[in-house]
Structure 1
């Protein structure tokens, strides 16, 4: 009976279990739990993980991770957090993932306790100054972490701070005073603190950017470039916009090693008052010194062959300019808007139009061969000009409108005078023309382009050229024709009614047709023995 009962009970249990299993879904598995593992490593070392963490850091529960630290040379593991360090090997630690965990490791210098971490602070004393530190550095220079140090420099007379390194490094940013005599440092690592000094008023040449070819391409910080600057001899060229907008630059010495000054090189250097250009510069490019408002004088050396367009445009304080003999091309706007230039010394072979209408004093040196077209057009304040014996040609309108001129001597070397060369120089009273003149341009009586048209105060003329041309100077009262003259051209002095006295040189052979016709003021004429021919009406109507 007992055995039967047990069998029935077992059958019942099996039946009940079958019913329950029949009601459950097939193949359902519980979801795997994951946790986020984050890894942080401090300075002076790195950490690897095995197995590697996925990108999102999510790791399955119960995963066993092994961490291995690699300290930098001279450092060792200090602390692990979030993982179990393996003793005695501090470089490894393990973790069985059971929750979100951050694993961190820090490093320390070998031989120092993390509780009293120290770093070495080295002070380099500058030339031309002395630095003190508070609190004072220990003999070994080892300073506890996070100690705040104050460095103070006392410059020698005539010197100032140029730049700190190692301490107060934030001052290198634009807008901060890099010339501070006092800076601070919070000790967080080994550091060398130094300061460089610079003479008062001198700019820091270490700010210059110079490429491998010697080309100066710019400056690292234009706001720190202050005072006078002497470029090093390693510079071979000054590139485009190299010093543009360096407004605190006051003077520049360009050495002989430099051969060219590029486009906009010193554009808007408004503080610049003086520039020395080296003797090997051959080209001053377009707008090189444009807008240098305080530049007062400039000397262009003999080596320069070209001065570009607008090279000195807008240099409104420029009063004196010297241009050497090597210049073969000056673009016409090179000195535009330079309205205070009063003195010009120029020695190039051909003097071009410069637009310097404010000129008062002009020196043409012995290398000048030609005074170009409109070279000194309308320089109304110019009162005196000496034309050297090297000049052979005076171009069209070269001195037109120079109303301040009172006396002009054209030397024997001049062979050609262009049309309207001295037109409207209304205050010239004395004129001397040397013996070399052979060509007077535009002798058309009705052209109004004679070289001296509008010069209505010239009363005396000394002329000694081989052939005396027609000049159309009707105000003349006295004419002296020198012994070099051989021919007096037709109509040369026709209708000069104010002419009262004429001296004809002893070598004149021909007085051409109408040469003195209508000279009603003449009362006495001596024709020398040398004259062999007198043209028709040569003295007609000399009543």
Structure 2
């Protein structure tokens, strides 16, 4: 299905206003060439010729808009020429821009020459030109906008200028006749060359390279990728080369750091990959459904690259993390229902988000000192866990780390833990027991939960942080008194407490996050001191306040 082409004018905030003018083009032959020169002054109207005169609009091939600085924009083309040379000047002034959709859906155009004076080409300018085979771009062009040549199914010849720095989203999407490209641009955005099924070879020359999500997805004939050996930094985002089914070998040079989710997934013939030491951010499924991945998993159920455990989806039973591993990557064990026990090593310093998400048969995790940080949802949904001892040295855990671990009864916290994400223990048996003992659940001076508290609540001295969403949706509290020890109230801490009428905030509170009291009662009054953060928050959120 063809994608809709957005046709319009680029915002002229920098270019100023404009006026509309037209330019006459000359038709040469059946396979015509449209060329442009300064128009001559038309003859004065002759009433006696009015019956035989042709309508002027039939010869007006180009429409221009004039900028306040005197330069011109090519707004649209109305001619029938197969070969078009766009004018570099009009009325002695430069033509600097081709507007959005100017040639879009032209089913006659076969070749276009764009002069060097043009510095920008708008969104969808040549989209769906079904016969366009050759394009000459200006040497100074720095960006090709979104969908500029999308669905130009016969486009074969185009040389990207050395000055080019970025290629927009879907710029060449479905240009099925392209076969070989040298790309100087550093930024290749979402779907830029998606479905270019004739493309066999791509050479990248930029020293800093960012390949966007699905940039070359489904380029099923792509066989050769060449990267500069002098690469300084490189990123391949989600699905960047997904389903490139003819790709057999890839050598990524030093400088590549990030290889995203599904970066090469589905490139089924890919059997050889060189991954440099610089690549330290790798997704768990970057190479799924490739020959290389299948071969690696035959060697070991733990796929470790550059000391990062990126995939353990096929691991079973008791998993001992190798001593070489320093980080467990996002989704590494995602939804693995075959593991029952994990023993960490002392070298693992970080466990990324969702690493063990949904491992429903995981019963035991043995941590070792050395771990300092856990991301979000790390053990969420591991409902066979019953006891956890977090290691000394751990300083931060993310949001919902043990969310919905229904049978988790005991948790031992290290003194080093100073940062806890919201709802980290929501729907655990541990939290249920803690609430029964005291509706204000506090860990290491962090108030993590107050959702079951009622009436007039006084937070005990010693609490330093009131956690994100800790009282969220509590409709039974009417007053909250905060002690002088509290320094921070995080986002959404009292969100949706619709019956909260009074909040006492001492001057010692130095940080009150946006939406800390989101959707409050209309009767809420903040009691605070003059010049305090409490006063500033009340004013910025149009809340009533009184001085203590």
Per the shorter chain, which TM-score range? 0.3 to 0.5
TM-score (normalised: structure 1): 0.39
TM-score (normalised: structure 2): 0.39
Greater C-alpha radius of gyration: 1
More strand by share: 1
